[in-house]
Amino acid sequence: MKFGVVVFPGSNCDDDMIHVLGDVVGASVRKLWHKEESLGDLTTDDCIILPGGFSYGDYMRAGAIARFSPIMAAVIEHANAGGYVWGICNGFQILCEAGLLPGVLLHNDTQRFTCKNVYLKPATDQSAITAKLDQNKAYKIPIAHAEGRFHADEATIDQLVANQQVLFYYCDESGQVTAETNPNGTLRNIAGICNEKRNVFGMMPHPERAAEDLLGNTDGLDLFTSLLASTEVAV
């Protein structure tokens, strides 16, 4: 699997992601500028990453302008053809704005930017980025966002839960999902979801910021290795 990391004006996690994918994971990875209109040699066996940051300064609404960048037509086509797309933080916001994932990300209930380590409980093994995770482990992954409160109507939330499209819940260190462990007011402690076809993933926490011994935490690395291991089996 090869990776393409889309860079929008205001992206600030693109180089972090490229470093982890290339230098830590050992995958082939390259940048994709937001004004490009194709994904080049990347195929549906490959993964497009929409990284974190503040695309277009988060004007209007986080992700609302980036959704109309020229490259997004190719990203949407890639996803609709079954290719993998993974949006992290601002990338998750963009995926929702583009209609590739349901719901929307609203301002945190605190009305403040939140940057801290949180714990995530995998909610399913029915996705490539969670298939190889320990379903009983609480993964420590940092968040850094002002608009991370996932919201959708109750019917949509019920469907996401029933279809095992919820990827992660915010939890405590022991894996307990409680109101106190909800960092932003997100509905039902949801931290990440996927689409019905399970090839488009969105999550607010940053696994690329927890993927090296140098940082004192490698919990995030497991999501990348799960993706690679799961897709190798599928191929």
> Which helix (H) or strand (E) element contains residue 5?
strand 2-7
Our CA angle for 94, 230, 23, nearest 5°, is 70
Q: Are 106 and 147 in contact (CB under 8 A)?
A: yes
Q: For position 44, what pLDDT does the model report?
A: 97
Residue-wise pLDDT for 56-83, tens only, equals 998 888 999 999 999 999 999 999 999 9
Q: For position 129, what pLDDT does the model report?
A: 98
Q: Which of 212, 227, 197 is nearest to 132 (CA)?
A: 227
Q: Which three-class secondary structure state does DSSP give residue 155?
A: helix
Residue-wise pLDDT for 153-169, tens only, equals 999 999 999 999 999 99
201 beta partners: 86, 194
Q: For position 189, what pLDDT does the model report?
A: 98
Q: What averages of pLDDT result for each successive group of 10 residues across the chain (235 residues)?
A: 97 97 97 97 97 92 95 98 98 98 97 97 98 97 98 98 98 98 98 98 98 96 97 60
Q: For position 59, what pLDDT does the model report?
A: 85
Task: Round to whole Å and give the CA distance between 184 and 189.
Answer: 9
The catalytic residues are: 89, 206, 208
Buried b (16+ CB within 10 A) or exposed e, 56-67: bebeeebbbbbb
- Verdict on whether the full-model pTM lies above 0.75: yes
Q: For position 15, what pLDDT does the model report?
A: 97
Q: For position 232, what pLDDT does the model report?
A: 82
- 57: Cβ–Cβ under 8 A, 6 or more apart, which residues? 9, 10
Q: For position 234, what pLDDT does the model report?
A: 44
Residue 85 CB coordination number (10 Å): 27
Q: Is 197 exposed, middle or buried (0-12, 13-18, 19+ CB in 10 A)?
A: exposed
